[in-house]
Amino acid sequence: MEGAKKEVQRKSIEERQQMDELSRIRHSCAHVLATAVLRIWPDAKLDIGPPTEEGFYYDFDLEHRFTPDDFEKIEAEMKKIVKENQVFEFSEMSREEAKSHYEKEEQPYKLERIDDIPEDEKITFFRNGEFFDLCAGPHVPRTGNVKAFKLLRLAAAYYRGNEKNPQLQRIYGTAFKNKTQLNEWLEMREEAAKRDHRKIGREQGLFTLSPMVGQGLVLWMPKGGIVRTELQNFMQGELMARGYSPVFTPHIGSIELYKTSGHFPFYKDSQYPTLQAEENEEYLLKPMNCPHHIQIYAAEKRSYRELPVRLAEFGTVYRYEQSGELSGMTRVRGLTQDDAHIFCTQEQVEAEVRDTVDLTLKTLRSLGLEDYRVQVSLRDPDGDKYTGDPANWDQAEATLKRVADEMGIVHEAVQGEAAFYGPKLDFMVKDCLGREWQLGTVQLDYNLPERFGLEFVGADNAGHQPVMIHRAPFGSFERFMGILIEHFAGNFPLWLAPEQVRVLPITEHQNEYAENILGQLKSAGIRCGADLSGDKIGGKIRNAELAKTHTMFVVGKKEVENGAVAIRVHGQGDQGVAPIAEAIAGIASKITERSL
């Protein structure tokens, strides 16, 4: 295990070094972009141009409205700047000199950005050729080091992210060390576009978003509802087997509840405005389920003999995400978590954490999401966004690290990523395109039980404070569904497929036989349909493939004579002929086993 930890640490260091190098290239390319734009449109006003996870962007205020047609002209100018091999030169200025410079250049956004820099920090710049930019760096030595880049898309962005400020034009791009890496990334991006859950979700009738309902509020359509129900049934079965009790809580709560928990104000920026019910009575749309579950625990006197108490809810919560950050199902304002909270004694903590980790790993394995890393998300000792006794934090963090070690889970500790009330084990999952998503989470919490004064009566007949574990293997159904759609490209495994089997008679003479098979499938609890239209069999197969029906039973004259079906599987073609009973039993067995 120690060798595995060292190997993952080595790889982690190498990845960080590669990302640092890529970040320098992309940051430098953002400056090359700004240089090119100013050459073509000298009156452009500039804001910022940072590197991002997938590339870079730069924000401009310009009377000319950019369109994708401008990219060719801008990229041509960028190539000239790269060929000029301009040096990135570092310099410093006093605050007065910096302001004087940008006043002369008539760059108001840069002037305001100078005011963001603390008085005791240096004001630094980088120059390449004629372009001079307020910047802390770092950069590559010369523009010639920016060898492979591509402008990608346009977006509107409010200055400083505030919708009351001017709306700027943002140009996104990406850059890599060489053209081979760039082309590989562009190919992957093209494949990702084909798998886009928003596109597939619309085509397959899985979910929809309606402006009449509101931004970021998902409407699950019948086919999507089937997939969600199957996921929920899987999780419900695990919960019952592991001793969880189902609970249900309202969608709003008194603001006093969240003041006590600390979600208000610690979580204030992600919450909807308060709702005024009556004078001196305010409510919040529920941002988290945990304060409600705490009240269920507190509603009865608890004995150590009852613990652990495990309360589970598929609970819908609401987060006020900025409109520019919303994205299909993966970034929403209303989400349903497979949430649970465990109240236990100190002696039970490690066993309960182990079980929640085991459940999370089983969930990922069951869906073929086995490429993941585990992050131990810790507090920043110097941060001010955490509540509670540092000694409790130390104990909780040490426990999560120890459990991960003892379970042989390779992990990496990251400071500053903890929840405000406790550290976490976060499961960072890669999909089939190598994109990483934070899904399952296990959180260890000594602070909310203290804030609410929770107790249980111990063997000594005295009151003791329980420890609380928060866990959500899926994270949220919305994000998990969006990722599953893209991971499987809409081709769900048999147990999840909205339509598991479609019966396809070759001619109308086999329609009665097809309907008989349909009845047998329904009796076996298999989701099914039949195409009894007058289309030719090739068209019926094509329609079933487009609908991503998992399995097709094709029946013609021979199949009727032999009491059989010809089996086809979506994307895999002909699978041979089998007797009806055998074919149905095989399908039912795979569904029960949740085969992939």
DSSP character for 526?
-
Of 443, 433, 429, the C-alpha closest to 366 is 429
Q: Is 341 a catalytic residue?
A: yes
Contacts of 137 (CB under 8 A, 6+ apart): 27, 90, 124, 126
Of 385, 384, 381, 469, the C-alpha closest to 419 is 385
- C-beta of residue 201 within 8 angstroms of C-beta of residue 90: no
Annotated catalytic residue: which of 24, 139, 150, 341? Answer: 341
Q: Is 86 a catalytic residue?
A: no
Q: How many helices and strands, by DSSP H and E, does the chain display?
A: 18, 27
Q: Is 290 a catalytic residue?
A: yes
d(CA 582, CA 80): 68
Of 505, 481, 214, the C-alpha closest to 330 is 481
Question: Is residue 308 reached through a cis peptide bond, with omega within 30 degrees of 0 on the bond before it?
Answer: yes
Annotated catalytic residue: which of 29, 135, 290, 528? Answer: 290
Annotated catalytic residue: which of 86, 169, 337, 443? Answer: 337
- C-beta of residue 554 within 8 angstroms of C-beta of residue 537: yes
What does each C-alpha distance from 27 to 33, 138, 155 come to in angstroms?
Answer: 10, 8, 19
d(CA 471, CA 353): 9
What angle, rounded to 10 degrees, do the helices at 477-488 and 222-241 form? Answer: 110
Annotated catalytic residue: which of 470, 540, 548, 568? Answer: 470
Nearest 5°: CA angle at 124, between 122 and 127? 165
d(CA 142, CA 28): 9
Q: Is 167 a catalytic residue?
A: no
SS3 content of the chain, % helix, strand, coil (to 5): 45, 25, 30
364 C-beta neighbours (distance < 10 Å), count: 19
- The H or E element that residue 282 is part of is strand 281-285
DSSP character for 273?
P
Annotated catalytic residue: which of 424, 471, 479, 540? Answer: 424
Annotated catalytic residue: which of 47, 338, 339, 355? Answer: 339
d(CA 363, CA 474): 8
Q: Is 31 a catalytic residue?
A: no
Annotated catalytic residue: which of 27, 113, 195, 319? Answer: 319
Q: Which residue numbers are catalytic?
A: 290, 319, 337, 339, 341, 424, 470
